[in-house]
Amino acid sequence: MDVFQLQTLISGILALLVGALVYQLKKTHGPNTKICTVPQAGGAWPIVGHLPLFGANQLTHKTLGAMADKHGPIFTIKLGSYKVLVLSSWEMAKECFTVHDKAFSTRPCVAASKLMTYNTAMFGFAPHGPYWREMRKFTSVELLSNQRLELLKDTRASELEAATRRVYKLWAREGCPKGGVLVDMKQWFGDLTQNILLRMVGGKPYYGASDDDGEGEARRFKKAMRDFMSLFGVFVLSDAIPFLGWLDNNGYKKAMKKTASEIDTLVEGWLEEHKRKRAVSRIGKEEQDVMDVMLNDLQNLKVSDYDTDTIIKATCLNLILAGGDAVMVALIWTLSLLLNNKMELKKAQDELDTHVGKDRKVEESDTKKLVYLQAIVKETMRLYPPSPFITLRAAMEECTFSCGYHIPAGTRLIVNTWKIQRDGRVWSDPHDFKPERFLTRHKDVDVRGQNYELLPFGSGRRACSGASLALRLVHLTLARLLHSFNVASPSDQAVDMTESIGLTNLKATPLDVLLTPPWPIIGHLHLFGAHQYTHKTLGLMAEKHGPIFTIKLGSYKVLVLSSWEMAKECFTVHDKAFSTRPCVAASKLMGYNYAMFGFTPYGPYWREMRKLATIELLSNNRLELLKKTRTSELEAAIRELHKFCSREGCPEGGVLVDMKQWFGDLTHSIVLRMVRGKPRSDDYAEVEARRYKKVMRDFMSLFGVFVLSDAIPFLGWWDINGYEKAMKRTACELDSLVEGWLEEHKRRRALSVNGKEEQDFMDVMLNVLQDAHISGYDSDTIIKATCLNLILAGSDTTMIALIWVLSLLLNHQMELKKVQDELDTYIGKNRNVEESDIMNLVYLQAIVKETLRLYPPSPIITLRAAMEDCTFSCGYHVPAGTHLMVNAWKIHRDGRVWSDPHEFKPERFLKSHKDVDVKGKNYELVPFGSGRRACPGASLALRVVHLTLARLLHSFNVASPSNQVVDMTESIGLTNLKETPLQVLLTPRLDTRLYED
C-alpha cells in the first residue's frame, strides 16, 4: 500500500470517529441542551484557591452564603487542588439528593478520617462501596432502629434523671437560693449527652463513676474525646494540597495519631470487658448495649479488609462522636433562644404543665403530645443547624444538573444548609425565632431529610442515620429541664448568640444559666416550716379564706375544711369519695408496702382488714376479754410509783416523776401485752425490750417527718435528709423483732391450745387468717403489719391525751379537786378504781372530752385523698386526686359552737354539750376522726385514758414543782405532743396495802 492510500485510510477513520462523536453528543444532550461548566467564584489564589477566604475568624457557612448572594445557588470554589461544588437553594439540594444522590454518595479521604477512624472504618467517613453499604444497613436495622431505641429507653431516662438530680443537689447545697443556682449548661449538656451515648454504646458512663479507677478512666476519655473532636475540625494542608502530604506543618497529624492510640486503648478495654462478661453469663436482650449487639451479630464476620474488633470499635466511636456533639449543640442553641424569647419559654412550660402536670416527671412517651416544644426544636435547627453545611461529599462519576451545569467526577460537594434554611422565598422573617411557623404554614415539614428546605440531618444515602435518636434525646432533655426548673440568664441579660468557627456550629461563648425548682412545685410548703404549727397556720388561713379552701403542698392540691358543717358533709355525703389514703414514704417503707390497714389505700384489702380489726380485735367483747391485761399493767406501774415514793422516804412535798416517760412506758406496756402477750422475763427479754424501745422511738419519729417525695413525687430519687434510708433500716430492725414474736406464738400454738380468754391479738389473727392471702399479702405480713399499726396508733395517741389531761389539771386546781372528790365519792379510799367504775365518773369523762377538744392528739385528721370527683352543697367542685385535711383543732375551738372556746371548762360536757360524744358522730368534736376512716381503736383509747387517769388521781396527790404553771407549748409534728417535759410531784393518798400485790 502506497503513502497516498495510507493517508486516505487514516482520514476516513478520523472522519468516522468525529461523526460518531457528534452523533453521540447530539443523542445524549438533544438539539437544545447546552453543556456548560459551573461558574467559579472569583478571588481564587494560585495553588491554594479560595482557602484564604476561609480564615480562622470567618464562619464558613456565612462566607459561602455571601458568595451565593453574588453568584447564585450553584457555583464552585477551589480549595487547594480540589474543585468544590456549593449548593445554596432547596431546589438544587433536592436534585442533588434525589437525581444525583448515588453520584455524590462517597466521602473524600481526609487525614482525620484516615488517622483517627481506623483508616475510614467509621462508616460515617467510609468511602462508598460494599463496606459502607453493609455497615449502613447494619446500623439502621440493628443499632438505631426504633425497636432498639425503645429497648434502651430506660438507659436514657436513668442518665437524664441522674443529671437532673445533680442540679437539685447543687441547689440544695447552696441553701436553696430563690434566685437559683448558676450552672454551666454547655458542660451540663455535654456531660449528659456523652453519658447517655456511652451508656447506650458501651454500658459505661464517664461522669460520676463510683470508684477511683472509674474516675480516672472517665477523665482520660473526656480529654481524649475533646482532642478527637477538636482535631476533626482543624485544617490539614494535605487535605487541600495532596502533594504536600509529607508536610505536617502544625503537628496535627502527630496529634491525631496520639489521640487515636489513646482512644483505641480505652475502647479496646471496653470491648475486652464485654467479651469477659459474655463468657461468664448470658445477657438478656433488654440489657444489651450496642457493643453486645455487635458482638452477637458480627462475630467473626470480615467485611472488606477490617476485622470484627476494628469494626466494633470504629462503629462505637462513630455513634459517640456524631450523636454527642450534634445533640449538645442543638440543646445549647435551643435554651439560648428560649432565654432570649421569654414568651416562647412560657408557652413551652405552660404546655408541659397542661399535658404532664406537676405530679410526675416527663417521660419519653409524653413528647409526642408536646407539639409546641417540637416546634421550638425545629425552629432552632432551622436557625442554628448543628452542622451548618452537610458533611463533605465527593462525586464518584460525572453528572449534569437540570440547569445544564456539568459536574466532573472527583468534584467535592458542600450543601449550605444554613443558607437554605434562611431562604426568604421559603421562610417569612427568616432570621427571626418563630416556632409557631411549624404549627401553621410549615406544620408538615420534617427534619429527617424528606423536606429539602429543612435539612439539619442531611438527606439521601448519606443522611444522618441517628436522627431519630438525636430527636428523642433533644426533646426529652429539653422537656425535663423546662419541667423541672425555672431558667433565667444572670441579671436577665440577653444571651450572646455568637457562633464558633468549626465543622459544628457550637455557641462561641459560655451559657451560664440560673436554675431554680419553680415555686409552684413547692406550693404552700414554705408556710409550714420547722417552727410553725400546721393546725394553727391553717386556722389563720381559714379566718381569711373561710371554712373551705385549697392549698398546694408540692404537687398536690389539698382541700382544707375548718367548720363542723363542712366536716359533716365530708364524712357523710362524700365519705366514700374521701375514703382512701395518699401513698407516703413512711407507710410504704415501714408499713410493709401499705399492709398497715390504717395507711392502706381504699380497696378490698382495706375493707377486709377494717372488718377484721373492728370485729375480731377491737370489739367490745375482745376488749372485755383483755381487761385483765390492761389492769395488771396499770397496777404494776402504780405499784412501781409507790415503791419509788417509799424509797425516797415519802417526803411531804412528794417525789418528782417524769410523767411523759411514765405515761409512755405504761401505754406501750399495755398495748404490747394486748398485741403479743406477756414477754419473757429472762435477760434476753431485757435486751429485746431495750432494742424495741429504741426502734419504736425511731419508728414513731420517722412517721412524723417530712419526706420530700410525699409532696413532690418526681423527686422520689432524692433522699435529701436521709429519712428514707433510716426508714428502711428501722423497718428491717422492727421486722426482725415482730418476726420473733410471731414465731414464738407459732411455737406455743404447736405445743398447746390457748383458751379464748388468754388470747392476745397475734393469737386471734393466727386463728382467723391461718394461711390466707389477701390482695397479694401473705398472712405473716398481714399479722406483723397489723400489730405494728395497733402499737403505733394505740400507744402514741393515748400517751399524748394523758399528758395534756394532767397538764391542764395541774394548771386548774379547782377542776383537779373536783375530779378527786368525785373519785373519793364513788370509789372511796378502801379499794382501787376498776374499769367498770368509769361509767359513774362523769366529771372525769368531761375532763377527758374537754382535753381532747383543746388538745386533740392529731390536730389534723389523718390525710385522705379523693378517689372521685365530688361537689359540696355550697357549689364547690373537688376533682379526684385532691388531698383532704380536716382541721379538728380549728373546729374544736369554733366560737359559734363553744362558749369561751380557748378556756378549759369541763362543765360544758355536763350541761350544754352533755350529749356530745368523741367517737365521730358529733362533728363539732372529732378527735378520732369520722366516717369510714375513723379510728377503730377509739373505744380502747378511751378505756385506757379513763382508767389510767382515774387510778393516778385516786392513788396520788399531784402537784407541779413549786406550784409553777405548767408550760403548755405544743410540739411541731403530725401528733400534738407537749413540747416540754412534764415533771410532777406525786404523794400517795391511799392506804399502803392498796399499792401491794
Write down the pLDDT at residue 683: 53
Q: Where are the beta strands (DSSP E) in 175-217?
A: 181-184
> Which of residues 757 and 314 earns the better pLDDT score?
314
Contact 48, 81 (CB under 8 A): no
Q: Are residues 739 and 653 in the same domain?
A: yes
Helix, strand, or coil (residue 555): coil
Write down the pLDDT at residue 234: 74
pLDDT tier at 74 (50, 70, 90 boundaries)?
A: very high
Write down the pLDDT at residue 215: 60
- Interhelix angle 252-280/290-298, nearest 10 degrees: 80
**Number of residues that this document lists for the chain:** 997
Q: Dihedrals φ, ψ of 10, to 5°?
A: -65, -40
Cell of 843: 366529771
pLDDT in tens, 274-329: 998 888 876 665 568 899 999 988 875 666 778 899 999 999 998 988 777 889 99
Query: What average pLDDT score do residues 342-362 get?
Result: 90
Write down the pLDDT at residue 132: 93
What is the chain's mean pLDDT, rounded?
87
Q: Are residues 439 and 542 in the same domain?
A: no
pLDDT tier at 210 (50, 70, 90 boundaries)?
A: very low
The answer to the question of residue 14 being in a domain is no
pLDDT in tens, 843-872: 999 999 999 999 999 999 988 999 999 999
* 206: pLDDT strictly greater than 70: no
pLDDT tier at 22 (50, 70, 90 boundaries)?
A: very low
187: DSSP letter: H
Query: What average pLDDT score do residues 224-251 get?
Result: 78
Q: Which residue has the cell 361509767?
A: 839
C-alpha atoms less than 13 angstroms from C-alpha of 104 in its C-beta half-sphere: 31
Among 149-163, 189-203, 463-477, name the most confident range: 463-477
Last residue of a domain, one of 483, 516, 549: 516
pLDDT in tens, 867-898: 999 999 999 999 999 999 999 999 999 999 99
Q: Where are the beta strands (DSSP E) in 860-908?
A: 860-865, 870-871, 877-878, 883-887
The answer to the question of residue 411 being in a domain is no
Contact 741, 688 (CB under 8 A): no
pLDDT in tens, 82-103: 999 999 999 999 999 999 999 9
Cell of 791: 402499737
* 712: pLDDT strictly greater than 80: no
* 174: pLDDT strictly greater than 90: no
Within 10 Å of residue 303's Cβ, how many Cβ atoms?
Answer: 18
Percentage of the chain surpassing pLDDT 70? 90
The answer to the question of residue 476 being in a domain is yes
Write down the pLDDT at residue 70: 95
Last residue of a domain, one of 516, 548, 571: 516
Write down the pLDDT at residue 211: 43
Write down the pLDDT at residue 600: 93
The alpha carbon of residue 813 and the mean position of all alpha carbons in its chain are separated, in whole angstroms, by 56
The alpha carbon of residue 241 and the mean position of all alpha carbons in its chain are separated, in whole angstroms, by 55
Contact 575, 932 (CB under 8 A): yes
Q: Are residues 501 and 577 in the same domain?
A: no
Domain at 183, CATH number: 1.10.630.10
* 650: pLDDT strictly greater than 80: no
Lowest average pLDDT, out of 325-339, 709-723, 777-791, goes to: 709-723
Query: What average pLDDT score do residues 972-990 get?
Result: 89
Q: Are residues 857 and 908 in the same domain?
A: yes
Amino acid at 279: A
* 226: pLDDT strictly greater than 60: yes
Write down the pLDDT at residue 443: 93
- Interhelix angle 723-751/683-703, nearest 10 degrees: 140
Domain of residue 213, residue span: 110-236+270-386+432-516
Q: How far apart are CA 303 and CA 716, in angstroms?
A: 48
Q: β-pairing, 399-400 with 405-407? A: antiparallel
Write down the pLDDT at residue 56: 63
Cell of 505: 456550629
Query: What average pLDDT score do residues 170-182 get?
Result: 81
Query: What average pLDDT score do residues 645-663 get?
Result: 87
Count of domains forming the chain: 2
Q: Are residues 633 and 765 in the same domain?
A: yes
Q: Are residues 662 and 800 in the same domain?
A: yes
Write down the pLDDT at residue 576: 95
Q: Are residues 667 and 816 in the same domain?
A: yes
Q: Are residues 364 and 450 in the same domain?
A: yes
Contact 70, 377 (CB under 8 A): no
The answer to the question of residue 814 being in a domain is yes
Query: What average pLDDT score do residues 194-207 get?
Result: 82
* 120: pLDDT strictly greater than 50: yes
pLDDT tier at 755 (50, 70, 90 boundaries)?
A: low
Q: How far apart are CA 387 and CA 500, in angstroms?
A: 12
* 13: pLDDT strictly greater than 80: no
The answer to the question of residue 349 being in a domain is yes
Helix, strand, or coil (residue 742): helix
Q: Are residues 722 and 833 in the same domain?
A: yes
Q: Are residues 503 and 578 in the same domain?
A: no
pLDDT tier at 921 (50, 70, 90 boundaries)?
A: very high
* 997: pLDDT strictly greater than 80: no
Q: Rounded to two decimals, what is the model's pTM?
A: 0.63
pLDDT in tens, 721-746: 788 899 999 999 999 999 999 999 99
Q: β-pairing, 36-37 with 405-407? A: parallel
Helix, strand, or coil (residue 106): strand
pLDDT in tens, 322-335: 777 889 999 999 99
Write down the pLDDT at residue 283: 63
Last residue of a domain, one of 460, 486, 516: 516
Write down the pLDDT at residue 479: 97
Within 10 Å of residue 314's Cβ, how many Cβ atoms?
Answer: 25
Q: Are residues 845 and 910 in the same domain?
A: yes
Q: Are residues 219 and 301 in the same domain?
A: yes
Write down the pLDDT at residue 471: 96
Using alpha carbons, select from 415, 426, 429 the residue that is nearest to residue 387.
415
